[in-house]
Structure 1
Amino acid sequence: MLKKILSVGAWTLVSRVTGFARDVFTAAILGTGPMADAFVVAFRLPNNFRAIFGEGAFSNSFVPAYTRIEEQAGRSAAAEFQGRIASLLLVSTLAVTLAAILFMPQVVSVLAPGFGNEAGQFDLAVTLTRITFPYLPLITLATLYGAVLNAAGRFTAFAAAPILLNLVWIAALLAAPLFPSPAHAVAWGVTISGAAQLGVVWWAARRARLLARLRAIRLDPELRRFFRSLGPALIGSMGVQIAMFADTIIASTLPSGAVSSLFYADRIYQLPYGVIAIAAGTVLLPEMSRFIAAGEPDKAHAAQNRAMLLIWFMAAPFFAAFLTVPELIMQAFFARGAFTSASAEAAGAALLAYGVGLPAIVLIRSAVASFYARGDTATPLWASLTAIAVNVGFKIVLMGPLQQAGLALATSIGAWVNLGILMVLAVRSGRMVPDRRLLNALGGLTVATALMGAAMVLAEALADPYVAGVSRQLREPAKLVLVGLAGGAVYGLAALVLFKALGMRLRR
């Protein structure tokens, strides 16, 4: 499992690195002003719908169902199931896209009610969102074929496909003089990248002989069973996206730049989630599903414990960095061009608030696997909805005193509530069995993380003389490298001592 996680994580890391390059270009050209806020809304709307219909609800319901059908009824039955699901996804997402394009002014007025305060910003957001919305059906079908590949243990194509979004996005920015504005260029880049990503996973599924043709939509017993599983997962996934919509709605009423400050902080925050949590969850769910289907729950629990330890081992350094040097991180990555020091300060405050919830965010996918692997999508639904209610409530309370950082902190609080509910219910029902070694290792890694955070604070205070001779544009990146090396050395040494004391080897 470690090899598979590292393989998915490696491709995801390439995606995130190219994503950082894309965000650096975007920050330098768009900054955090009204045009950037309009584009963020235009990208977030189809992207959030994609998360509802695609990655979140669909994958968590489809992979266990597809795996079970293939195990019990054979590949032809699984292909029949895949073809009908593809037809359903195509019809539903095209309908949503057509309706959204027709009623886009009303949609944007609900999603970003504060945009009327800036001249031309509302009309720009409407135009840009109409351009980006076809991304939804394209990327949703890509998610289907990616899920089929994942269920078969082929993770590379789907993990690598998002790289195309970043490359096309950058190319669009470079071609910005050919468009009415840089925001128009990137909006077209988003839609074109959706077609490119669909092409990559479609071709990979075809080469692996896993691609099924579209079938007539017929509600047979398997499809009904799938919908019974999908319904709660869809509502739960909608809850998460509703909270993100709430961020956009509330941030649009704050001073200009709040929406894009949250966006840039979220881009950094998503690095450990995308590289570590999603990679581990992508591998863990089909693995647990196979063990559960084969009547071997002990092996499923062992795989889950191993995944959770690996996740925290790899995510803990990000947690330490987000809490101790958030503003330095934002300055090092984005402070150039239209992205000013004030922008870095605002985004850094949001990153710190997001960082509070990082441990919960990265562990939630492994926790929900306890339920999804058994076809139970209702329990995670109620956990998610409870957390969303807490999240939105805290957003309303914290937006005044903390501005965009309050919205991010509310997200973190909601994540901890979600994880807590899932863990309690899973352990009580015997669907999660954390052993003593896992608990000891997690506790020890927490100590190592605290030591790393202290080392980074000290290194930041002492680093200025060592970067004084570096050019002004590279000074903050050089300082971040020094601080990261100091913290990483302390964390690595402490973790090494921990694993040796516990008699553990990471690959085991």
Structure 2
Amino acid sequence: MSLVKNVGTIGGLTLVSRVFGFARDMLLSRLLGAGTGADAFFVAFKLPNIFRRLFAEGAFSAAFVPMFSTELHGEGGREAAIRFSTQVLSVFLPILFLFTAVAEIFMPWIVEAMAGAYREVPGKFELTVALSRLTFVYLLLVSLVSLLAGILNSMSRFAEAAAAPILLNICLIAAIVFFGSTDTGDNFGTARALSVAVAVAGVFQFVWLLLAVRRAGIELRLLPPRMTPQVRRLLRIILPATFGAGIYQISQLIDVFFATRLQEGAMSFLNYADRLNQLPLGVIGIALGTAILPALSRLVGRGDADGAQRLMGTALELSMLLTIPSAAGLMMCRDALTRAFFLGGRFDAADAAITADVMAGLAVGLPAYVLIKVFTPGYFARGDTKTPVYTALAALIANIALILLLIERFDIVGLVIASAAAAWLNVALLYAGLHRRGQFHLTAPSALRIGKQILAAALMAALLWWLAVPLAPHFGGNVFERVWSIAALILPGAALYFAALWALRGFDRDQIARFRRPAA
């Protein structure tokens, strides 16, 4: 299967998931708004999601996928790959049970570390602890899901794993529709229903991927845990990778720590804004990062340095071709999008205005977040999980320093600007490491094409700014007005961008054609 097709499969299903996520948060904004119940749920939901990103999109996959691929395509073939997976499952499952149980016991202290300021609002801290205990069950299940997804991705079966997050959003939407409370005096019932739905979604995702793995011919069994040489080697790889990914998650926790100490609703503003930001990040960044790791591992494994350079170069151009206009569009359309999607019910115009500013700050870092997903596999495919640790640590230190510098003056917007700047620092360090080792460099033609992409995006941004003024009264109107006004804003902007890109030759057509051929 071609790499473009792999990216399209992952990105397309991620897009479906993000659409369901939009529907979820549109309902949430109307029922929960940006108050106590919403803040408590978003903190509780952040906990398992941090570990989801740590395992499913971070250290575990980075260590497991290359090792599983080696076993699968080596002398032992499928039987060796099944044996390795069974050994990993038998060791990791007891660890996950123990970790989850300990976290449930110490949840008040965990929430205290993240959101101790919630004690100042009556009932808010206790609600956050109760919701976090419900959602944390998801961690155990999603960690198993990450193992199953790693197996499928190694076999170039990307669809089932990419579809799993859709189940989470369906469960959350069902909880809102059937159990959400419209009582204006208390929205805690909706938050509790959502937290239960998170745990239920984990069960559905696990069963979904377990069946997919069996269809792929992989039968996993539980055996007494044994620290085999392969499991020890996996741990030696995964521990520094976990630390590296953990630094990023610590950065996320720091954002939560500071956000919970700002005005009521800050966590909600951050979540709603990030919903829009996560659309291009998930569709482009995560899809590319997931798709190129197995292909890059194969190229590196057989010593094809030129092939690895071409693969990463094309991935870089393809990611920027889509991410640069996405970032520009989010910044120029921030008021239109937040009003059209979220305004209504308990979410008022003032909430929408703050969310729009937060979204603009997040958009500044969007290309950097995507580039991190593109550059990091260049290290993981070569078994180097330590260098990303050092770059992430430097970015974390810069992030904390910038937060302390900006948050007092710019409030929550300063928080996201600091994170965006730290992400750009991480990109610079990752690229410098690859370039210094001769493993990847940005060629002059690629740099020129990316410059043309920026120019085309600037033309698009100017058109969006001009169109937004006459359309502004309709962004907060009825459903029909919101739909046509957003379409009248975005469609001409997208058309101008791609037309300008074509006229400027802002992408290598021959390279894209080569990229669509079956991956080696």
TM over 0.5: yes
SS in 2 for 1:507: helix
Superposition deviation, residue 151 in structure 1: 0.4
SS in 2 for 1:271: helix
Aligned mate of 2:493, from 477, 487, 495? 487
| Residue equivalent to 1:283 | 291
Superposition deviation, residue 47 in structure 1: 1.6
TM-score normalised by structure 2 residue count:
0.93
Task: Determine the C-alpha separation between the residues in 1 that align with 2:172 and 2:391.
Answer: 36
Aligned mate of 2:404, from 382, 396, 409? 396
1:78 and 2:84 matched: no
| Matched-pair contact (CA < 8 Å) for 1:353–1:405 | yes
1:331 and 2:339 matched: yes
Identity among equivalent positions (%) equals: 36
Instruction: Summarize the Cα distance change of 1:5–1:445 in structure 2 as closer, same or farther, 3 Å threshold.
Output: same
Residues 108-119 of structure 1 aligned to structure 2 (within 5 Å): 108-119=111-122
Task: Determine the C-alpha separation between the residues in 1 that align with 2:301 and 2:312.
Answer: 15
| Residue equivalent to 2:154 | 151
SS in 2 for 1:161: helix
Superposition deviation, residue 60 in structure 1: 1.0
TM-score normalised by structure 1 residue count:
0.96
Aligned mate of 2:7, from 5, 8, 24? 5
| Residue equivalent to 2:518 | none
Task: Determine the C-alpha separation between the residues in 2 that align with 1:85 and 1:500.
Answer: 45
Residues 124-273 of structure 1 aligned to structure 2 (within 5 Å): 124-176=127-179, 181-273=189-281
**Could you list the runs of 5+ residues in structure 1 that have no partner in the other structure?**
none
Task: Determine the C-alpha separation between the residues in 1 that align with 2:53 and 2:113.
Answer: 19
Task: Determine the C-alpha separation between the residues in 2 that align with 1:476 and 1:203.
Answer: 41
Task: Determine the C-alpha separation between the residues in 2 that align with 1:507 and 1:426.
Answer: 26
Which piece of structure 1 moves more, 42-51 or 238-247? 42-51
User: What CA deviation, in whole Å up to 9, does each residue of 1:107-162 have, x standing for no partner?
Assistant: 11111011011111111111111111110010110111011000000000000010
| Residue equivalent to 1:316 | 324
Aligned mate of 2:68, from 66, 69, 80? 66
Please give the root-mean-square deviation of Cα atoms over the aligned residues, in Å. Answer: 1.9
Superposition deviation, residue 483 in structure 1: 1.5
Instruction: Summarize the Cα distance change of 1:382–1:22 in structure 2 as closer, same or farther, 3 Å threshold.
Output: same
1:372 and 2:360 matched: no
Give the counterpart letter for 2:120 in structure 1: N
User: What CA deviation, in whole Å up to 9, does each residue of 1:266-312 have, x standing for no partner?
Assistant: 11111111111111111100000011112222112211111111111
Give the counterpart letter for 2:376 in structure 1: V
Task: Determine the C-alpha separation between the residues in 2 that align with 1:473 and 1:203.
Answer: 40
User: What CA deviation, in whole Å up to 9, does each residue of 1:448-470 have, x standing for no partner?
Assistant: 111111111111123358x59x9
Task: Determine the C-alpha separation between the residues in 2 that align with 1:496 and 1:177.
Answer: 48
User: What CA deviation, in whole Å up to 9, does each residue of 1:214-264 have, x standing for no partner?
Assistant: 333322322222222111110011111111111111111111001111111
| Matched-pair contact (CA < 8 Å) for 2:453–2:506 | no
User: What CA deviation, in whole Å up to 9, does each residue of 1:302-340 have, x standing for no partner?
Assistant: 111111111111222211112222122111111111111
| Residue equivalent to 2:36 | 34
Superposition deviation, residue 446 in structure 1: 1.2
Task: Determine the C-alpha separation between the residues in 2 that align with 1:73 and 1:436.
Answer: 41
Superposition deviation, residue 68 in structure 1: 1.8
Task: Determine the C-alpha separation between the residues in 2 that align with 1:53 and 1:493.
Answer: 40
Give the counterpart letter for 2:349 in structure 1: S
1:355 and 2:358 matched: no
Aligned mate of 1:23, from 22, 25, 39? 25
